[in-house]
């Protein structure tokens, strides 16, 4: 920070507020011993504006002959180095325009020209017309960014990987299947050769949920209706789908709770005198009003009970 530079910036008149803010922060970055060379990203952050808008204000300051920009490149790596800003109060800063074009400022012998040279690409770059260096044709492009908010990059959402690895079927199982279907491994039809039929059988296991033993059993059962060996694995798809459906239904039945077995319905009472006589002769509870006079006479007439037993049970 240089107090002399910031005081000089405050003393400048006739500038727009935003342009004067750029000049003040530029002077705030000035070092009395080493000069002023902040990066555009740092300067744009200080003045809180985009790099494109910052360059417009810098070009205006250069047009008003308050600053001069000198850009350079590393001679070995050819990378752009930090721009050197020469402020109007510094020694060697000339206010006289160039006689040829009356644009810019008069240069000293040690300063590079405004138009970059084809040999080195060095030189100041301002808002004035300039021919970019053939060696560095893209370094003079201005970044027309307008968004001041630096949004973080979003990492692409990764899809969840399948937790169950696709394990291929074993050669032993495939040979057992061929033998069950009556196929000779040494002379297989075209649809049973290579890796496609193995993947087809693998889908029966992985997608339909059949075990290898269930696949073999289903293939064996299919020989009853179709004695001839199938031309390819697709001929067994319908049978495998039915086997998978039965497996799901059987599993559902096992998961269901068994219904409680209801007590068998009592047999209807056809002989009422015998029913009441059995109740009178037993020690079970007998309400006195349960047996009518008609039922009492019927039991006595048939000899099912005695009058003494009725009196003991409270039946009049």
pTM of the predicted structure, to 2 decimals? 0.34
* Predicted local distance difference test score (pLDDT) of residue 123: 47
Give DSSP secondary structure letters for 28-79: HT-BTTTBB---HHHHHHHHTS-HHHHHHHHHHHHHTTSEEEE--B-TTT-P
Taking Cα atoms as reference points, which of 225, 206, 218 lies closest to residue 177? 218
* Predicted local distance difference test score (pLDDT) of residue 48: 92
Q: How far is CA 143 from the centre of its chain?
A: 33
Spell out, as residue ranges, where the chain has pLDDT lower than 70.
Answer: 1, 92, 94-166, 256-267
Residues 6+ away with beta carbon under 8 Å from 31? 1, 2
* Predicted local distance difference test score (pLDDT) of residue 57: 92
Residue 69, strand partner residues: 85
Cβ density class 103-139: b for 16+ within 10 Å, e for less: ebbebeeebbebbbeeeebbbbbbeeeeebbeebeeb
Per-domain boundaries in the chain? 1-148, 171-255, 272-312
* Predicted local distance difference test score (pLDDT) of residue 99: 46
* Predicted local distance difference test score (pLDDT) of residue 1: 66
90 with 186: CB under 8 angstroms?
no
Indicate the Cα dihedral angle 103, 106, 114, 118, nearest 10°.
130
Rg (CA), the chain: 52
* Predicted local distance difference test score (pLDDT) of residue 139: 47
* Predicted local distance difference test score (pLDDT) of residue 144: 52
**Please, what CATH class does the domain formed by 1-148 belong to?**
mainly alpha
């Amino acid at each position: 920070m240089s107090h002399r530079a910031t005081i000089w910036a405050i003393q400048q008149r006739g500038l727009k507020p935003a342009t004067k803010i750029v000049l003040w922060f530029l002077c705030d970055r000035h070092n009395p011993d080493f000069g002023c060379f902040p990066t555009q990203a740092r300067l744009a952050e200080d003045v809180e504006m985009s790099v494109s808008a910052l360059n417009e204000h810098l070009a205006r300051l250069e047009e008003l002959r308050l600053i001069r920009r000198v850009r350079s490149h590393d001679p070995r790596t050819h990378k752009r180095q930090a721009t050197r800003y020469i402020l109007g109060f510094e020694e060697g800063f000339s206010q006289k325009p160039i006689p040829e074009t009356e644009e810019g400022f008069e240069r000293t012998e040690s300063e590079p020209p405004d138009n970059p040279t084809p040999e080195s690409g060095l030189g100041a770059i301002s808002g004035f017309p300039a021919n970019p260096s053939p060696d560095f044709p893209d370094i003079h492009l201005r970044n027309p960014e307008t968004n001041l908010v630096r949004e973080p990059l979003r990492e692409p959402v990764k899809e969840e990987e399948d937790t169950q690895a696709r394990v291929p079927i074993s050669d032993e199982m495939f040979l057992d299947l061929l033998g069950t279907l009556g196929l000779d491994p040494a002379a297989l039809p075209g649809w049973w050769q290579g890796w496609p039929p193995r993947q087809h059988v693998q889908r029966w296991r992985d997608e339909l949920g059949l075990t290898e033993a269930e696949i073999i059993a289903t293939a064996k059962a299919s020989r009853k209706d179709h004695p001839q060996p199938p031309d390819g694995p697709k001929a067994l798809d319908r049978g495998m789908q039915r086997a998978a459906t039965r497996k799901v239904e059987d599993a559902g039945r096992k998961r269901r709770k068994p219904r409680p077995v209801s007590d068998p319905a009592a047999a209807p009472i056809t002989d009422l005198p015998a029913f009441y006589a059995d109740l009178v002769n037993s020690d079970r509870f007998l309400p006195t009003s349960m047996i009518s006079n008609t039922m009492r006479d019927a039991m006595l007439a048939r000899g099912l009970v005695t009058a003494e037993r009725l009196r003991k049970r409270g039946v009049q």
